[in-house]
Structure formats: C-alpha cells, structure tokens
Amino acid sequence: MTTDTLPTESYVFQGTINKKPPHIVSGKGMRMTVEKDGKIYDDILDAVTGAAVGALGWGDEEVLPIIEKAAKNHTYTFPSIIGNKPSEDLAKFYIDNSPPGVFAAALWCCSGSESNENAMKIIRQYQMERGCPEKTKIISRDTSYHGFTLGALSISHCGRADLFKEISIDQTNTCLKMPVCYPYRYQQKGETEEEYSQRLLDSLEKIILDNDPKTVSCVLVETLPGSSLGTAPSPKGYLSGIRALCNKYDVIFMLDEVMCGTGRCNPNGKLNCWESFIGPEDAPDIQTVGKTLGSGYVTIAGVLVGPKIRDAYINGSNAVFGSHTYASHGFNCEVALGVQKKILREGLTANIFKMGNLMGSKLQAALLKEDNIVGDVRGIGGFWSLEFVKNKTTKETFPVELDIGHRFQHVCFENKLSVMGMQGNADGVAGDITLLAPAFIITEEDVDAIVERIVKSVEQLSKELKAEGHW
Ligand SMILES: Cc1ncc(COP(=O)(O)O)c(C=O)c1O
C-alpha cells in the first residue's frame, strides 16, 4: 500500500529528518571539503574529527593498503565458532601497551554504546561467576554520557537519557547516580582540589552505604568527560579515591574511555587516558574504548578486561554468555591494529598530547581574560572544550533557546573550522560548550590556525549577541 507522504529533501532518518545535513565531498589530513546548502566549502579545518574519532586524519596513504589486505583476508566468520588472528593480536597490542598486569583480555564490538552494554553484562556475569548474585547496582555520575542504547542511556544522566527515562533501567534500585565532578561550577571558593575530591568521595561512600554495599556491583565514570559536560580533568585524589572505595566495598571500578582514550590523552605516548591521573596501582578493573581505535576507517570499539574479572570467569564457567554477530570482526580488528601500529611507530600519541596542550594553553591565553562569552577553557592532551557563559563572574548560562553551543558551531563552520557544539552541561538542560578533538597528526601551524579561527568566531558571536541584546 502506498500513501501520500510529506515532502522531504533527505531519506536518511537522522538529525533533521526532512533536510539534508552538510555533506562531505572529500578530505585529506586535517582538512575537508564540504557541501552545505548547495555551496562548496573547501579548506575546512577539522578540529573535532567528527566526534573525537580521528587520529590519522583523512585519506592516510598507509591505511589504504591495510584496508585492501584486510578485506582480502576477512569476509566473515561468527567469532564464537571460528575466530581470527587480528582480534587476538589487537587484544595483545592493547594489553602490551598498557601498564603491565592491568588488562588481560579484550572483547571487540562496533560502537561505544555496544561496548558499555557489553561491559555492564560482563560485570553482571562476573558477580554471578564468583557467587555474588546479589551485587546488581551500578553507580555512575550525574551529567554523564555512555551511549545511546537503552542500557548505556540508563547509566547516563543528560538530556538524551532523560528523554527515554520511562523505558530505561530502574534509576532507584539498579542504575544509581552520584554527583558530577565539575570543578568549574562546583568546586567551592577556598576549597582545594583534594578537598573537593574528598567531598565527592564522601557522597559516593554515602550512596554505597545507603544502598547496602553487598548489593553494589560497580562504580563507573568517564575518565575525562566529553559530550556530557566538556573535558573537565579530575581533581587530585578523585579517581584514586574511587579506586580505594571500590576496594573497600568489593566493587568493580570501571572507566569509560570511549571518547577520551586510545591515545587521545596519554602523557607517555601510549593508550590510556587514566595514566594522566593515576598510576597502575589505581587502574580500573574494566574499561571501554572506541572512537580513535579505528580512527574512523573502521567501526570498532572494545571492552578491556582486567585479570581479576577474567580469572573469575576462568575459575567459574569459563564462558562468556552471548555474543554479537559482528563481535571481534577480523576486518575491523586488522585495520584497527594497522592504524594503532602506525600511531605508535610515528609517536603520534606524544604529538597530540603536546600539540593539544599547546592549543589549549593558547586558547586560554587568548580567550579567558578578554571581554567575551567564554567562561572556561579546559581539557588535557588532544581533548579540550570551551564553556560559554552569559556572565564570567556568576557563570550564569545563556537561555536554553539561544542554543549558543550549536550557534557557535555554525559560526566556526562559516569561518572554515569544524567543531562540535553541545548543550546541557550545567544541569542536563542549560549550559553550552564546544568540543575540540583534532587528529593526532596535528602540526604547530594547524594549532595556530585552529586558535585563530576560534578566537575570530568567539569575537564574532560575542559581538552578534551584544547587538541582539542577549549579552
Ligand atoms: C564517553 C562515551 N561513551 C560512550 C559513547 C557512545 O559511543 P558510540 O556513539 O560509538 O556508541 C560516547 C559517544 O560519544 C561517549 O562519549
């Protein structure tokens, strides 16, 4: 049966339904050509690599033969029946490039949401394998994002999660929330970093105690938050304090490094973001990763499992319940491994750490003291954000309907810079940020070009808002 339908420009059911988004035409390295509303924009500098995905940038000549070889080697097998070598090699690569003894095995999947879904189930089965079936509760944070599937939304707290709360996992008895860690807004005047951390840890401990520690299974946080509240580095003692509470109450410590991990923010030229904040003695028991793992060339994400969890399985059923059709896909794993080997060989993790910090410090110097709408510039390594405020002293947010984060994104685009605007950082609804996550191949000239285009866009938007009477 056919029916009359409303007119549409687009047949992709995503974003604005009846309108085509800007389309990519081509790209090379850090630069893209994009078609928007019939107009071609060339030399768009990519300062966010889509959604913090890209490490090698566009069209890396070395990756193309890796893709060709992987396509010849791997069409498909179902991994629970017939596995493949690249999935083993990629797991070994991640384990070997993390501090010794932290990780012992990995599961590969296709998206960050899927990795968090799998981690939730791996932790659940772990508690059953070791004879603790009463441990069911997961504690994550206010203002967090762990993905768009229902399980991942249930451990998230943001506008995107709120929309689906009626069909999410129980927020009172299973997916509990602790306070956000957000120094720019919530560290009090006169409070040291350590004191702020302790205040947050005290609230976490109270939640564990109020909810019967014998039933608490896991505490999880984004090591460096991204789309939820902007890249707020943890204050001193915070992550190690969570580790200590997890040890004290026999709870799994999980880190979500889907957006911030796999080389984006590692100070030692390696992979994990947490190495910027804690030593191996405070490492997580389980960790999710994605995004830069495949650098956009393949759709791959993963769950890294520590020895404690793996051993409980081996001493128990020695089997993982269930699997996804495309888990540990040979093609994805071989390409991701090729990408990661190139990043390691060329020292690109060290490069993004240095260049990203240079970009951040130049932006802080250029924006924070000036009369404009930027209240904060924060981040570490290759992951930074700007927070926009109406008033730099009171940190008052702009009215939600002005949608400043997205408006800034559009201004930047007109100035030939691709960034990601987001809203809701302050309280889940209000607050505006923009995210920066350039490719690891970034040079000092690229840093200067990004800074120049951002400063120009901030000045332009600040002026426009003043003229409109909004600022
Ligand atoms: C911290 C974090 N976890 C999980 C996800 C979900 O990843 P994906 O969009 O690949 O499903 C994201 C996405 O941005 C994220 O930022």
The token pair that represents 360 in the structure block: 């951040």
User: Among 44, 148, 115, 113, which residue's Cα sits nearest to residue 288?
Assistant: 115
Expressed in angstroms and rounded, the spacing between residue 38 Cα and the centre of ligand 1 is: 31
CA neighbor of 222 nearest in space, from 259, 247, 185: 259
Ligand 1 pocket: which of 114, 141, 143, 146 to mutate (most atoms <8 Å of CB)?
A: 146
Q: How far is the CA of 452 from the centre of ligand 1 (A)?
A: 29
**Separation of CA 152 and ligand 1 centre (Å):** 9
Residue 112 CB less than 6 A away from ligand 1: yes
Report the nearest-CA residue for atom 5 of ligand 1.
147
Instruction: Tell me the H-state helices in 74-171.
Output: 85-96, 112-129, 150-154, 159-162
Ligand 1: atom nearest CA of 226 is: 16
Q: Ligand 1 in contact with 50 (CB < 6 A)?
A: no
Q: Is the CB of 233 under 6 A from ligand 1?
A: no
Residue identifier of the C-alpha nearest atom 8 of ligand 1: 112
Instruction: Kindly report, residue by residue over 29-86, the tens digit of the pLDDT.
Output: 999 999 999 999 999 999 999 999 999 999 999 999 999 999 999 999 999 899 999 9
Nearest Cα to 387, choosing from 401, 398, 378, 376?
A: 376
User: What is the token pair recorded at 444?
Assistant: 């000092």
Supply the residue whose CA is at minimum distance from atom 13 of ligand 1: 147
For residue 355, which of 347, 431, 312 has the smallest C-alpha distance? Answer: 347
Phi-psi region of 108 (alpha: psi -120 to 50; beta: other; left: phi over 0): beta
**pLDDT (average), residues 92-118:** 98
Closest atom of ligand 1 to CA, residue 111: 10
Please state, in angstroms and rounded to a whole number, the distance separating the CA atoms of residues 109 and 326. Answer: 7
Residue 428 has what pLDDT? 85
User: Which of 48, 49, 109, 145 to mutate for ligand 1's pocket (most ligand atoms within 8 Å of CB)?
Assistant: 145
What residue owns the CA closest to ligand 1's atom 16? Answer: 259
Which atom of ligand 1 has the smallest separation from the CA of 147?
A: 6
For the chain, what percentages of helix, strand and coil (3-state, to nearest 5) are there? 40, 20, 45
- Ligand 1 centre to CA of 444 (Å) is 29
CA distances from 217 to 138, 140, 209, 246, 251 (A): 6, 11, 13, 9, 5
Model confidence pLDDT, tens digit, residues 277-328: 999 999 999 999 999 999 999 999 999 999 999 999 999 999 999 889 999 9
* pLDDT number for residue 1: 56
Q: How far apart are the first and last CA of the chain?
A: 54
Q: Which amino acid is at 362?
A: K
**H helices within 190-299, ranges in order?**
193-210, 238-248
Domains of the chain: 65-345 (3.40.640.10), 348-467 (3.90.1150.10)
Tell me the per-residue pLDDT of 351-406, one tens digit each, with 9 for 90 and over: 999 999 999 999 999 999 999 999 999 999 999 999 999 999 999 999 999 999 99
Number of the ligand 1 atom closest to the C-alpha atom of 291: 10
- Evaluate: CB of 257 within 6 angstroms of ligand 1: no
Distance 112 CA to ligand 1 centre (A): 5
CA 380 to ligand 1 center in whole angstroms? 18
Q: At 216, list the tokens.
A: 């608490």
pLDDT tens, 223-252? 999 999 999 999 999 999 999 999 999 999
Distance 113 CA to ligand 1 centre (A): 6
Q: Is 116 in the pocket of ligand 1 (CB under 6 A)?
A: yes
Q: Is 137 helix (H, G, I), strand (E, B) or coil?
A: strand
293 in Cβ contact with 301 (< 8 Å)? yes
Ligand 1 touching residue 46 (CB < 6 A): no
Measured CA distances, 245 to 257, 285, 330, 371 (Å): 20, 13, 39, 43
Say if ligand 1 is within 6 A of residue 227 CB: yes
247 alpha-carbon distance from chain centroid = 25
What pLDDT sits at residue 2? 61
pLDDT in tens, 176-218: 999 999 999 999 999 999 999 999 999 999 999 999 999 999 9
pLDDT tens digits, residue range 126-175?
A: 999 999 999 999 999 999 999 999 999 999 999 899 999 999 999 999 99
pLDDT score for 8: 87
Average pLDDT, the chain: 97
